[in-house]
């Protein structure tokens, strides 16, 4: 079990792990826990910075902290998907662009816009940031597992390797863990967050399958970023709604 947890840390962050770990699909059980830890750390940074630096700057630093600690893994996936999935491109061309390590103009623009939206959402959160960010990042990592579980891998890349070792038991347990963390901000907020996450995951599956017949690692990362962003936006609602 420890090797699965360490595998999740190794897969989702740049934290060096020298111990033996398991395949990513088996480590997926603890993806929500790693996401929750990242979210809680970000929330604590926001709380501890109050009164010392402007709140908007603190929010930007939290985003930088997340990107640095994750190595921009999901940011890269989102940018690649934005570059590749344009209306007139064939599946072959999409795969070719997804394999290209360079980021194009569309990907860069999309990533900048997404970062600005996340920044403004963080700056406008109306509830306690610790449970809010914990829930948001836990659900976004759980969405990776859920989407991989309900989708076919496209090609022979990281999604294929991930799906090959991902069992239904692991996927369901990981999803349940994500839902558990979603309850931290309260049952009403959790219902909105979980519904949004499920909806985004199934829409993503439908779109990716229609375009390339399945999902790639970039597709999983992009979906995680969208889920995280939507969850953050949910917490900008008035407290009476949540």
pLDDT at 239: 67
Q: Is residue 112 part of a domain?
A: yes
Tally of domains within the chain? 1
Any domain includes 56: yes
Please indicate, yes or no, if residue 19 is contained in any of the structural domains.
no
What is the pLDDT at residue 147?
Answer: 96
By the 10 Å C-beta count (0-12 exposed, 13-18 middle, 19+ buried), 152 is classed as middle
* Per-residue pLDDT, 169: 95
CB burial readout 32-57, b (16+ within 10 A) else e: bbbbbbbbbbbbebbeebeeeeebee
Q: For residue 16, tell me if it sits in a domain.
A: no
The answer as to whether 6 is a domain residue is no
Residue 3 lies in a domain: no
pLDDT for the residue numbered 96: 80
User: Which residue ranges in the chain fall short of pLDDT 70?
Assistant: 87, 238-242
Domain span at 227: 27-234
Spatial contact of 189 and 139, defined as CB atoms under 8 Å apart = no
**Residue 17 domain-assigned (yes or no):** no
Quote the tokens at residue 210.
């229609």
CA pair distance 143, 145, nearest whole angstrom: 5
Tell me if 5 is assigned to some domain.
no
How many residues can be counted in the chain?
242
């Amino acid at each position: 079990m420890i090797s699965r947890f360490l595998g999740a840390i190794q897969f989702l962050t740049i934290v060096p792990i020298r111990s033996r770990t398991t395949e990513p699909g088996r480590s997926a059980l603890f993806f929500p826990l790693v996401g929750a830890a990242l979210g809680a750390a970000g929330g604590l940074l926001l709380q501890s910075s109050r009164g010392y630096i402007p709140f908007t700057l603190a929010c930007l630093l939290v985003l930088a902290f997340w990107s640095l600690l994750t190595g921009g893994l999901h940011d890269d996936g989102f940018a690649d998907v934005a570059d590749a999935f344009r209306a007139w491109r064939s599946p072959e061309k999409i795969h070719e662009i997804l394999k290209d390590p360079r980021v194009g103009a569309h990907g860069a623009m999309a990533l900048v816009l997404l970062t600005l939206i996340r920044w403004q959402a963080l700056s406008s959160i109306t509830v306690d940031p610790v449970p809010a960010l914990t829930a948001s990042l836990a659900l976004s990592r759980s969405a990776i597992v859920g989407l991989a579980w309900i989708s076919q891998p496209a090609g022979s890349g990281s999604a294929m390797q991930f799906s090959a070792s991902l069992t239904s038991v692991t996927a369901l347990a990981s999803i349940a863990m994500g839902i558990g963390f979603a309850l931290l901000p309260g049952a009403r907020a959790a219902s909105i967050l979980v519904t949004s996450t499920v909806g985004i995951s199934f829409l993503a599956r439908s779109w990716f399958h229609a375009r390339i017949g399945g999902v790639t690692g970039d597709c999983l990362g992009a979906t995680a970023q969208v889920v995280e962003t939507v969850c953050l936006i949910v917490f900008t609602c008035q407290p009476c709604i949540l």
